Structure 1
Amino acid sequence: MGVNGNGSRPRQALIGIPSARDRSQRYFGLSIYIQNRMYVQGVTLAGGAPITIPLELDEATLRTIYDSLDGVFLPGGEDIDPALYEEEPHELLGAVDAERDRTESLLTRWALQENKPIMAICRGAQMLNVVAGGSLFQDITALRPQSEKHDYFPPQFERFRISHEIEVDTGSRLHDIIGGEHSVNSMHHQSVKALGNNLRAAAWAPDGVIEAVEAINHPFAIGLQWHPEELAPRNDAAMLRIFQTFVQTAVESRRNGH
């Protein structure tokens, strides 16, 4: 990275990544906040400065952290409580975390309202859709039986395993970044059902499952159902461009006062 006119390094975009919780108790019963290092690596490869955000903060404290951020990164993880989209739990619903839902919902709502850039992956894409008023298929196999397999989970499958193709909509912001057809990995048993307000579908799997969503009239709010953080370090230039465009938009957003 270069220097600016006064000889100092320009400030990198500060990207907030909400934490998850480690429930394994392997650290002497301690309650621990965690996050996948590949998300952090994806942001840093693109030139951003990642910071993980703890859970269980009061709203005022969370807002203080949010106000310091140039962008919000919503990571993958467990299922979202279907009460957030006014449905009863399906028998195949996985584990949920109400506190994580609360933290990510607040960050997402603020960022959508205030045009702060959002990059969302897997669960994150689903959270973006839910906060915008959309809903989810709680289990693709059970509720969308015409679909192909999407739940290629570790340890049976490697996280970077290519699982299917996607077709990117030609009129989308995502298409501007990566073009039309790509091979992606897949680690999800849920997907977007009804689209949220002011969201559009930006990519689909061959079976019609929505693989990307993006906000209309927002500088950058894109949700990806696959995991580009696993592909970008493996010389997938298109996946790296998504991170780079997100980080660059965050820099520009800061300059414009958002």
Structure 2
Amino acid sequence: MTVHTTVHEERTRTLEDRRPLIGVSTYLTRARWGVAWDLPAALLPAAYARYVQEAGGLAVLLPPDEDPASAAAVVRRLDGLVLAGGEDLDPALYGQEPHARAGAPVPERDRWELALLGAALEQGVPVLGICRGMQLMNVHTGGTLCQHLPDAVGHDAHNPVAGSFTDHAVKTVPGTLTGHLVPGSLDVATHHHQCVDRLGAGLVATAHAEDGTVEALEYADGRFALGVQWHPEARDDLRLAEALVRAATGTAGPSGG
């Protein structure tokens, strides 16, 4: 009787829990915790997982794999993908030498996330790129980055204090997926010193800061794959994550409605 009840309860939970599984990429870095641990670690700020969970998804972390070829198998088990923020991409990926202010690249993470993105696009899995994630989407399609944004805009308002988010205004482009999901002007959390320079093939810019910086992009073919330069997980606005969850469950078309 106990076994029967357990199986029944498990089946009930399976039927009731239709939340999509959303993978979130992670950092690969050295970290310290506890009394004396100081080791290489795959880690992610907790805000990313909460962002997915509060939007109705199940969050699973995707640490870099030594074999990027396994990305296709990983993505087949996902309903959606979030490419998280983090370190500067290796400028060699877009044919440039590193700027003096560029951070040290993490090749293992670059290779893994490019493979995850490629697999998600091939398999039709919805994608949301955040900060570094948006930049990676641009580089994946042959675009380039401005390696130190203050050189281009003449100020450091996008990243005035290292380790702390700052708010600034962005305006989305009407008639785009981004403009549909977060229409008009909005204040967003920012923390970046690099940005999109030349757009990659098949991408369109869908939001800008007041200084002209590209703040969002998406694919011109209408698929649910968009990137934002800001950090929505750092604020209360769940609209982008909720749209990702809807797309991952198949309850919304490309417009997100």
**Which of 119, 122, 126 in structure 1 is aligned with 2:135?**
126
User: Could you tell me the TM-score, scaled by structure 1's length?
Assistant: 0.86
Separation in structure 1 between the aligned mates of residue 106 and residue 23 of structure 2, nearest angstrom: 19
Q: Give the equivalent residue in structure 1 for 2:212.
A: 208
**CA shift for structure 1 position 202:** 0.4
**Which of 10, 20, 26 in structure 1 is aligned with 2:27?**
20
Q: Give the equivalent residue in structure 1 for 2:5.
A: none
Q: Give the equivalent residue in structure 2 for 1:69.
A: 78
1:189 alignment partner AA: H
Residue 250 of structure 1 pairs with residue 220 of structure 2: no
**CA shift for structure 1 position 112:** 2.2
User: Could you tell me the TM-score, scaled by structure 2's length?
Assistant: 0.86
Separation in structure 2 between the aligned mates of residue 133 and residue 183 of structure 1, nearest angstrom: 29
1:102 alignment partner AA: R
**CA shift for structure 1 position 220:** 1.1
RMSD: 2.4
Deviation track 1:18-37 (CA, whole Å, cap 9, x = no partner) reads 12123135553432110111
**CA shift for structure 1 position 137:** 0.2
Gaps of 5+ in 2: 1-10, 253-257
Residue 168 of structure 1 pairs with residue 172 of structure 2: yes
Q: Give the equivalent residue in structure 1 for 2:15.
A: 8
After superposition, where does 1:116-195 map in structure 2 within 5 Å? 116-142=125-151, 144-146=152-154, 149-155=157-163, 157=164, 159=165, 161-162=166-167, 164-195=168-199
The residue matched to 1:189 in structure 2 has which SS? coil
**Which of 231, 234, 237 in structure 2 is aligned with 1:230?**
234
The residue matched to 2:19 in structure 1 has which SS? coil
Report how many aligned residue pairs link the two structures: 241
Separation in structure 2 between the aligned mates of residue 6 and residue 101 of structure 1, nearest angstrom: 37
Gaps of 5+ in 1: 233-238
Question: Taking every aligned residue pair, what percent have the same amino acid on both sides?
Answer: 35
Deviation track 1:216-239 (CA, whole Å, cap 9, x = no partner) reads 22431111111110112xxxxxx3
Q: Is the alpha carbon distance of 1:87 and 1:29 closer, same or farther for their aligned partners in structure 2, counting shifts above 3 Å?
A: same
The residue matched to 1:24 in structure 2 has which SS? strand
